[in-house]
C-alpha cells in the first residue's frame, strides 16, 4: 500500500547510543538534500518533543525502548514512526542501519505501509483521587516491591470479579507487549495488529496462574491489598509506589501507535523465529 510522501521529519536519537547522533545528522542531511525537510533531537529533549507534532513522520534511532518512547510521542498526533535499529533486540524496530538510505528513498516516494498498534490508558488512584495517568504501548505491571512476599490483587473486568490473585504481580499487556515481559512470564504471543488486552500473572500462589486474553473494550480494575511495598510501572519506566487499597484502572487508549513498515505482514513471525533461535540480548553483559 502507498501513502502520501512525507515532507517534514523529526529524527529522535538516543543520547546514550554512541552512533545515534552522527546517524541522525546524516539522515537529516540526506532528507534535506532530497527535497523534504528534517531536524533532529535527543529523545530526552522535552521542548523538541512538544514541537514534533508538526512533522509528517518521526524517525527513531535506538532500540525497542527508544521506539516505544517515540511511538508514544507520535500517537498523540497520529504520526507514523520509522524505527532504525541501533539496539540489540529490535522486535519492533525492523530497519537495520545499513538499510536506511534505500528505506528513506522509498518512504519519500510513498512506498511504505502503516501498522496500527493498540495502546492502553492506565491510571492509579487512592481514596477516590486519581494520582497519575499514562499512555502505554507495551505493558502495565502491578507487582511487589523489594520485600520478597506476594501481594493480593483483587481484579475485576467490566465491574465483574475475575480473580483474587496472590502473586508477585500482574502484567497487563498489549499485543505489542506480548513479545516483551509478558512472553518471558509465559503469556501468549499475539499478532502485533491484534486488538486485545492480555493479563499475565507473575508467580501466582494457590490462585489462577493462566494468562487471560480480553476484548479491547473491556476495563480492568485492580485493587492492591498488601502489608508491604507494591509498585506500579508503565512501559518499564520508573516505578511508582502503591499502598494498600490503591486502585489501578486500565482500558484501551483513544490513541494508537502507527509504525512504518517496509516488509509484508508475515515479517513478524520470521523476526520472532530468528530472535528465539538466537537471542541477541544473551551477551548483553559483554
What are 83's strand-pairing partners?
Answer: 60
Does 158 qualify as catalytic in the annotation?
Answer: no
Q: What is the DSSP annotation of 70-103?
A: HHHHHHTTT-EEEEEE-SS--SS--B-GGGHHHH
Sign (positive or negative) of CA dihedral 56, 197, 66, 47: positive
Residue 23: phi and psi, rounded to 5, are -70, -40
What are 258's strand-pairing partners?
Answer: 80, 116
Catalytic site residue from 45, 64, 158, 168: 64
CB 112, CB 104: distance < 8 Å: no
User: What is the C-alpha to C-alpha distance for residues 60 and 43, in angstroms, rounded to an integer?
Assistant: 9
Catalytic residues: 64
Amino acid at each position: 500500500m502507498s501513502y502520501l510522501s512525507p515532507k517534514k521529519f523529526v529524527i529522535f536519537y538516543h543520547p546514550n547510543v554512541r552512533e545515534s547522533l552522527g546517524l541522525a545528522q546524516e539522515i537529516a542531511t540526506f532528507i534535506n538534500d532530497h527535497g523534504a525537510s528534517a531536524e533532529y533531537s535527543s529523545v530526552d529533549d522535552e521542548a523538541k518533543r512538544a514541537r514534533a507534532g508538526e512533522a509528517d513522520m518521526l524517525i527513531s534511532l535506538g532500540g525497542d525502548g527508544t521506539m516505544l518512547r517515540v511511538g508514544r510521542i507520535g500517537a498523540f498526533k497520529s504520526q507514523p514512526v520509522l524505527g532504525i535499529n541501533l539496539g540489540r533486540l529490535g522486535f519492533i524496530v525492523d530497519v537495520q542501519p545499513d538499510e536506511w538510505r534505500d528505506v528513506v528513498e522509498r518512504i519519500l516516494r510513498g512506498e511504505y505501509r502503516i501498522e496500527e498498534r493498540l495502546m492502553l490508558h492506565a491510571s492509579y488512584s487512592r481514596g477516590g483521587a486519581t494520582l497519575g495517568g499514562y499512555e502505554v504501548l507495551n505493558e502495565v505491571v502491578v507487582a511487589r516491591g523489594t520485600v520478597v512476599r506476594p501481594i493480593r490483587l483483587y481484579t475485576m473486568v467490566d465491574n465483574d470479579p475475575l480473580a483474587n490473585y496472590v502473586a508477585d504481580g500482574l502484567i497487563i499487556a498489549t499485543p505489542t507487549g506480548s513479545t516483551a515481559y509478558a512472553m518471558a512470564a509465559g503469556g501468549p504471543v499475539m499478532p502485533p495488529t491484534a486488538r486485545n488486552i492480555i493479563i499475565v500473572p507473575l508467580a501466582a500462589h494457590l490462585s489462577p496462574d493462566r494468562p487471560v486474553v480480553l476484548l479491547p473494550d473491556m476495563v480492568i480494575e485492580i485493587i492492591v491489598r498488601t502489608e508491604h511495598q507494591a509498585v506500579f510501572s508503565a512501559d518499564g519506566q520508573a516505578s511508582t509506589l502503591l499502598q494498600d487499597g490503591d486502585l489501578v484502572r486500565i482500558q484501551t487508549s483513544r490513541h494508537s501507535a502507527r509504525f512504518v513498515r517496509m516488509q509484508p505482514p508475515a515479517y513478524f513471525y520470521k523476526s520472532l523465529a530468528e530472535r528465539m533461535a538466537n537471542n541477541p540480548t544473551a551477551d548483553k553483559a559483554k
